Amino acid sequence: MPAAPSPSSGAASTDARRPAGDPAVSAAEKAAAKAWKVDLRELGRRAGSMREWEKTLPARPGWGVEMIGVPEGAPVSLHLRLESVMEGVLVSGTVDVPVTGQCARCLDPVEDTVELDVQELYAYEGSTTEATSGEDEVRRIEGDQLDLAPLVRDTVVLTLPLSPTCTPDCAGLCADCGERLDDLPADHTHEVIDPRFAGLAERFATLNDTRTDTEEN
């Protein structure tokens, strides 16, 4: 088996990007990040061994796209199964994430819970899979730990719509008054009449009525 390069910070580490805060904050930060790491010692390396993993964990920061995302700390429910396979650990199941954002059409707040399907292989250090694939292709097991946070983050980012809507057929905003069209009567229009000519317009309306009457006779 080829010698594996020294273990790095993981398939898609966000932690590297985060600036170091004050010690108290980083301690809390570390604990929050650690909560997403599964200790694999219990599962063991024998192919076929399996473990259910049901947990609710606070969302990590930065899970979202421009107009919608998972608020940091929001409860994320994980219903996962961890299965030991030859090359690593297969993680599969569903993840329920609360999301908040803004309707891309009317800008109303959007709040929802999205169920994500996940299925991912985490490769063992030194496994053929690890040796033959790039770090960004296959997630890695680091020591006895498997970090679920990057998997959930990537799934969230790939799944959330770039243009979320409050309802599937939200009509957006009135171009003239900026009110939500769905809140306005169906015949909502703006007759743009200069107030100085309002009286004149009224007279014309009466004239037209009279003329129609005479023409019909």
173 binds Zn ion (CB under 5 A): no
140 vs 32, 56, 120, 189, 215, CA distance in Å?
20, 23, 11, 59, 85
Of 105, 139, 140, 153, which lies in the binding site for Zn ion, with binding defined by CB under 5 A? 105
Of 111, 176, 183, 202, which lies in the binding site for Zn ion, with binding defined by CB under 5 A? 176
Which residues inside 85-104 make contact with Zn ion, applying CB under 5 A?
Answer: 103
Which structure tokens are listed for 50? 């399996």
Of 27, 28, 86, 177, which lies in the binding site for Zn ion, with binding defined by CB under 5 A? 177
CA distance 6 to 66: 35
Q: How far is the CB of 112 from Zn ion (least distance, A)?
A: 13
160 binds Zn ion (CB under 5 A): no
Q: How far is the CB of 174 from Zn ion (least distance, A)?
A: 3
Q: Which residues bind Zn ion (CB under 5 A)?
A: 103, 105-106, 108, 166, 170, 174, 176-177
